[in-house]
Amino acid sequence: MADERGFYVIRDLKYSTEPTEEQVEQVRQRLGGVPAEARPCDLCKNLLDLYLPTTATGGGGPVVVFVHGGGWRRGDKMAWKHFLSLYDTNFLVYSILWLYDMYGSIGSWFARNGVACVVISYPLARLSFPLSVVEMFTSFVFSLAFWLLLATTLASVSLLLSGLYVAVNSLVKPLMSDDLLALAEDAQLRLDESVVGVLRDAILSALASMSPLDLCCVFIAMTQAVTWLCIVYRRRDYRISPSTLALQVGAFGCLAQRLHAHDTDLHTAVVATSVFLLVIVQVTIYTRRYVLVQPAQYPENINAVADSIRWTKAFGRKTGLYRPDRLFLMGHSAGGHLVALVALQGTGHAERLAVTDDIKGVLCLSAVYELTPLSDTLLSRCLYLLPTFGRDPRVWRKASPILQLARRSHQNIPPFLVVTASWDFSLGPQADNFLEEYRRYNDRDHNETCRHHPMHEPSRHHLEVQLPRSPTHVLSAVHKEHRATARRVGRVAS
């Protein structure tokens, strides 16, 4: 029974151990048409989603391992999930990434085109105090912007519908008979006297009597109340226990009782409620994140990528759903850095990768190839370099793919396809330097084994470079390039 989307997806498979019989059975059931079961949330980031084409039972195709970006600190195999979890709460970014299905669309694109794809998550680094508070405040401001945009959109639609109602009513009312006109007026009178009408008039009257500061407080209180409801709905992702929820509800009840007992005026009640909800929600997010989530630094992230490759190869040998000896690595931004590094540091991960010759190609989308330039600016140094790789420049050099080329023997450097966007921060020059070093240390025909695919469209930016929904998306070029590259590499090797 084929999936109606044209592919199969099996989610949340743990790759930190060898493939288990339970995982194999889960995949076989999914291929047999059994719906996937919802799996409980796990703080472990060593999980992957397996995307299989409907022809997967043939087992003759290659497999792509995709690693997400996010500056080594953010992201997930389904990027939008990261931004509504204990790792971060940012409704604006969440909604945009959900709309584009960022990173999940990579796996589905490959599966629809007959190629098995593994999209992984990996352990993330974390900012230290006080930058962590700044990051949380930024997410809070972005969330407020999202709710303001949503409220503005709903208000505009409401005004439009009201205008249409008045226009239609003015046209239709003269054509109505006296009986119909009486019925319409009676229905309007009943609506005004109902609970809905009374509540509507009370809300409009209260809003009209509020100052701009009170209106801002009401807006913040409402957004935090909705955020709290989202946390309750996704409490597994936030690891919120029933006792914690009961304590929060009890605290709000005590606040309401105190405000009522002291006959508090409207201004004080609004301010107190908004401050209470703001503190409860933001403290809950911050404490959950920094108590439960353990930060990961290099080499934990690169070891996780190597483990996912080892799992992918072992699972392919065990099930025959794809050919593990036809393995391609692909990554975006920080993920591109990790796949390039693991391909070039293969000898250092021999116990995890087993056979690095199985890596037939590496696809780097707007990747980082050298870490030392990140120390040149305070922002990149504090936000990306230090949280993930520490303060030792020797570690930075060891974790730079461009400096690993000289360490690899000429025969073992896999083919690379390097993709850059037209607006790509400082990563374009890094890609050029990487290609120059690649050609220096690779004794094969570099035109056949390493290609650069710059995207010259002005609208192509760092994030859009990997979105398959874009009209001229890069994945089509990747697919064509690697089919041609595979043929050329075969001729060179022979």
How many C-beta neighbours within 10 Å does residue 169 have? 11
**Backbone φ, ψ for residue 240 (5° rounding):** -90, 125
CATH architecture label of 7-126+295-493: 3-Layer(aba) Sandwich (3.40)
Nearest CA to 428 among 345, 365, 361?
A: 365
| Secondary structure of residue 346 in the 3-state scheme | helix
Report pLDDT for 159: 80
* Displacement of CA 124 from its chain's centroid (Å): 13
**What is the model's pLDDT at position 234?**
80
Tokens 């599966």 appear where?
Answer: 111
Q: Is 76 within 8 Å of 121 (Cβ atoms)?
A: yes
Q: What is the pLDDT of residue 370?
A: 93
Q: Please enumerate, as own/partner, the contacts of 226-230 that have beta carbons within 8 Å and a separation of 24 or more.
A: 226/147, 227/89, 227/91, 227/143, 227/281, 228/277, 228/280, 228/281, 228/284, 230/84
Q: How many angstroms from the chain centroid is the CA of residue 237?
A: 14
Both tokens of 322, joined, read 């794809």
**Rounded distance, CA 367 to CA 463, Å?**
11
How far apart (Å, rounded) are the C-alpha atoms in residues 20 and 266? 61
pLDDT at 204: 66
Task: For residue 118, list its beta bridge partners.
Answer: 50, 65
- The whole-number mean pLDDT for each consecutive block of 10 residues of the chain, a chain of 494 residues, reads 68 89 82 59 81 75 92 91 88 90 88 91 90 91 92 86 76 70 69 62 67 83 88 79 84 83 76 87 84 86 93 91 90 94 70 64 91 91 93 93 76 81 81 86 62 62 62 45 46 38
DSSP string, 18-38: PPPHHHHHHHHHHHTTPPPPP
H or E segment to which residue 326 belongs = none
Residues 6+ apart with CB under 8 A from 20: none
Q: Which two tokens stand for residue 240?
A: 């919120």
DSSP-H helix ranges across 407-473: 427-441, 446-449
pLDDT at site 73: 92
H-helix or E-strand spanning residue 363: strand 359-365
- The answer to whether the beta carbons of residues 215 and 155 sit under 8 Å apart is no
Bridge partners of 64? 117, 328
Q: How far, in Å, CA of 420 to CA of 453, rounded?
A: 7
Task: Please return the burial class of 304, using the count of CB atoms within 10 Å of its CB with bins 0-12, 13-18 and 19+.
Answer: buried
pLDDT number for residue 350: 47
pLDDT of residue 290: 80
Residue with tokens 């120390």: 375
How much is the pTM?
A: 0.84
Question: CA-to-CA distance for 94 and 236, rounded, in angstroms?
Answer: 17
DSSP single-letter state for residue 382? I
Neighbouring C-beta atoms of residue 264, cutoff 10 Å: 14
Kindly give the pairing relationship between strand 450-454 and strand 416-420: parallel
Between CA 49 and CA 27 the distance in angstroms is: 11
Residue boundaries of the structural domains of the chain: 7-126+295-493, 210-292
Give the span between the Cα atoms of 247 and 241, in whole angstroms: 10
- Residue 193: predicted pLDDT: 62
Phi first, then psi, for residue 328 (nearest 5°) are -115, 140
Distance CA 421, CA 339 (A): 18
Q: pLDDT at position 407, please?
A: 72
pLDDT for position 303: 92
Report the pLDDT value the prediction gives residue 122, as an integer from 0 to 100. Answer: 94
The pLDDT value recorded for residue 485 is 43
pLDDT of residue 161: 81
